[in-house]
Amino acid sequence: MPGGYKDRIIRVDLTKPRVSIELPKEEHKRKFLGGSGLAAKILYDELDPKTDPLSPENKLVFMTGPLTGTLAPGFGRFVIASKSPLTGIWGEAGSAGYWGPELKFAGYDGMILEGRAEEPCYLWINDEDVELKDAKHLWGKDTVETEAIVRSELRESKSRILIIGQAGERLAKIACIVTDGGVAGRCGLGTVMGSKNLKAIAVRGSGRVEVEDEARFHDLVGEIHSIMNNDPRTKSLKSYGSAGSMEGNEAVGDVPIKNWMVGSWPDGARKLSGQQMARTILKRPVTCFACPIACKREVEIKSGPYAGVKGKGPEYETMASFGTMLLIDDIEVVAKANDLCTRYGIDTISCGSAIAFTYECYEKGLLTKEDVRGLDLSWGNHDSLLRMIEMIGQREGIGSVLGDGVKTASEKIGKDASEFAMHVKGLEMPMHDPRAYRSLALGYATSNRGACYLQATSHWVERGMLFPELGIKERPDRFTSEGKARMVIDMQNFMAIVDSLIICKFALSCGYTLTHLLGLVEYVTGYSISIDEFKMMGERIFNLKRLFNNRLGVSRKDDRLPERINKPSPEEGTKHSSPDLGLMLSEYYRLRAWDEEGRPKADKIGELEL
Amino acid sequence: MKVYVKLLGDLREALGKERLEIELQSHSELKWLIEDRLLGYEGLRDHLIDPRTNRMRTDLIILINDRSVEGSTESERVRDGDIITLAPAIAGG
């Protein structure tokens, strides 16, 4: 057995119920590494494309990577994948913290959940012992209460726990899975967990992750630490969190404002920045397993209308979703909204997008006060935001419609609502604007999980972060559509590897090189992989997810953006012009060796050994 | 000539000031302003200079009077009264 892997995957059939242990195939590890890649292989092989995402037949795959649980900085992440109930296609969400490493310490690389428990239950993985426990008394409780009760019941203070809130129980399709390191937010995977009557997964392990070449691994980790500790991004993320980028992002027109209608709001951005948080409600920075950065925030509001909020603080995406998107510039309101979403188990990006969409419906007269239970949905209204989050969490009134995401909500509201429902393939757009970075347009349109910048992070390159080992040596003009396809493809393939190893992208941005990653893989697993092999592995993984989606009917017609992004806006900022998606897409398909409909050609499938 | 430098995010926090007035006499190159004049201000070096190349970071956000500076900065010039906005490009978020 190579180092890094535990070579054991738990399979839990919740219907029977039955727990079994399986051995991952050596060939699959070599071809898909772990994490997102291995999860894609499992779901592609095992899932009938016709499966209803909320049926017992759907599977929820939890996967770590070969380096998870080692002391390499930034490798605390794990991936959850399934057929998404929100989009009906490939769904994945990642999270950091300690759960993934703990699963490795318990002796497992991952877990496949299938079936549906007859009654609410939770799973307890304690080294060799894997058991289902009654959760009827937990059903209806929020994630914070649930964590405290489970921890107390297990009498294991060091257990690591994944939990769904009431939103997941009630099958709101934007429900997330809450972890000790944040949330696995996107694609409604908390909904899948809720559909299986599974409230939580606790894990405790007493083992360790073996490393093939301890001495060289130790030296390389030391070198990476030294680089990261001297990188200003590390210092910035530690001091101000991801929202430390808010003002810079706003200055270049990257931050969506007022449901993507407005181009500039510097005063709002400043009040919603990580720097403002550090001056006001920040209690302490929080780190993940073996990471020197500590970009997570713990906040506390001691007085005023939101006194009592204490715990996970908002990141950049949440700050924009509940702040700039709604013209709310009060950081305490955003912290309160974030706290509600954590407790109910709701993805903040999808939630903020759905609420901003509703505010616009209200402004345009598509929804009346009567439709929204008397709430005043004027832009900037704090109280209505917080009430609407509760309504989504409780599936009450308009909240029941919004809880199924902005695409479904726009279809139900009808009229012209779909024109400003900001999603791709049913997944609400994250908080970076393709009108500020052209490559994001192509990345959003072709991301396998719907609108997502993390599947390419190509705007890093347009910001000037270069990857010479990938052949990306020059900063391209961010307003140009021409020539972007090659870079987006290279970055998507690279990120497919990043999500399979799995390394945090913030850590990656703080000084890691591709050579570092290859070295770590070799010293931990013993696999000696060339840069070209690495790149092909990424291409293989990306294409496999595309094939998963093709099988579900995804084609060129779905690789599109909301109309608002395609139309220049008269507003100031950078929204006066739009990306040429058609041009980029044609070049992209050609370079990917996909046909006109966006399906990988047979030769490409063969070349990638799929 | 005089130019105004507006610092956002970490740069403002590092210096404890949001706005600087800088007199430029013999030079008008943006590169010189950043790689030379601004380095005289304590705390800015790490944010402005890439230690591997000892030159201006390639990922710095720069705007001249709200026009964003893209690609190479070699030929960029500043003029009297210009407002140069600077922000670090943080990968987070």
- Digit-coded pLDDT (tens) for A172-219: 999 999 998 789 999 999 999 999 999 999 999 999 999 999 999 999
Give A396's pLDDT tier (boundaries 50, 70, 90). very high
- State whether B68 and A477 contact (CB < 8 Å): no
- State whether A236 and B92 contact (CB < 8 Å): yes
Spatial contact of A351 and A381, defined as CB atoms under 8 Å apart: no
The fold of A9-204 is Aldehyde Ferredoxin Oxidoreductase;  A, domain 1 (3.60.9)
DSSP string across A408-455: HHHHHH-TTGGGG--EETTEEP-S--TTTSHHHHHHHHH-TTSS-STT
For residue B90, what is the nearest residue in chain A, using CA coordinates? A245
* Burial track A526-558 (b if 16+ CB lie within 10 A, e otherwise): ebebeeeebbbbbbbbbbbbbbbbbbbebebeb
- State whether A460 and B57 contact (CB < 8 Å): no
- How high is the pLDDT of residue A459? 94
Sheet of A78-83: strand order equals A18-22, A9-13, A110-114, A60-63, A78-83, A90-95
- State whether B91 and A510 contact (CB < 8 Å): yes
In sign, the C-alpha dihedral spanning A27, A31, A37, A43 is negative
Q: Directed axis angle between helix A581-592 and helix A484-501, to 10°? A: 60
B68: nearest CB among A244, A252, A273: A252
| ipTM surpassing 0.90 | yes
CA diameter of chain B: 40
CB atoms near residue A288 (< 10 Å) = 27
Strand-pair category, A121-126 with A198-204: parallel
Sort out which chain B residues have CB atoms less than 8 A from A512's CB and list them.
none
What tens digit of pLDDT does each residue of A227-278 get? 999 888 999 999 999 999 999 999 999 999 999 999 899 999 999 999 999 9
Considering only CA atoms, which of A81, A5, A93 is closest in space to residue A39?
A: A81
Give B91's pLDDT tier (boundaries 50, 70, 90). low
Sort out which chain A residues have CB atoms less than 8 A from B17's CB and list them.
none
Chain B interface disruption, residue of A246, A247, A467, most B CBs within 10 A:
A247
Query: A483 phi and psi, to 5 degrees?
Result: 80, 5
- How high is the pLDDT of residue A232? 87
Distances in whole angstroms, Cα of residue A206 to Cα of each of A103, A124, A159: 10, 14, 11
Considering only CA atoms, which of B92, B46, B2 is closest in space to residue A241?
A: B92
**Is the omega angle on the peptide bond into residue A224 within 30 degrees of 0, that is, cis?**
no
- The whole-chain average pLDDT of chain B stands at 88
Does the beta carbon of A577 lie under 8 angstroms from any beta carbon of chain B? no
B63: nearest CB among A237, A251, A506: A251
Residue A16 to residue A414: CA distance in whole angstroms: 42
DSSP label of B77: B
- State whether B58 and A477 contact (CB < 8 Å): no
CATH match for B2-88 among 1.10.3720.10, 3.40.605.10, 3.10.20.30, 3.20.20.70: 3.10.20.30
CATH match for A438-607 among 3.40.1280.10, 1.10.599.10, 3.40.50.9100, 3.40.50.1820: 1.10.599.10
| Angle (CA) A249 A251 A253, round 5° | 70
Give A568's pLDDT tier (boundaries 50, 70, 90). low
B interface residues, A as partner, C-beta within 8 Å: 8-10, 12-13, 46-47, 51, 57-61, 63, 68, 70-71, 85, 87-93
The fold of A241-423 is 1.10.569
- How high is the pLDDT of residue B75? 84
Domain with CATH 1.10.599.10 in chain A: 438-607
- State whether A243 and B57 contact (CB < 8 Å): no
Considering only CA atoms, which of B22, B50, B54 is closest in space to residue B38?
A: B22
Q: Structural domain boundaries of chain B?
A: 2-88
SS3 content of chain A, % helix, strand, coil (to 5): 45, 15, 45
- How high is the pLDDT of residue A460? 93
What tens digit of pLDDT does each residue of B50-78 get? 877 888 888 899 999 988 888 777 789 99
**Paired tokens of A148:** 């405290």
Domain with CATH 3.60.9.10 in chain A: 9-204
Q: How far is B26 from chain A (nearest CA, A)?
A: 29
What tens digit of pLDDT does each residue of A350-368 get? 999 999 999 999 999 999 9
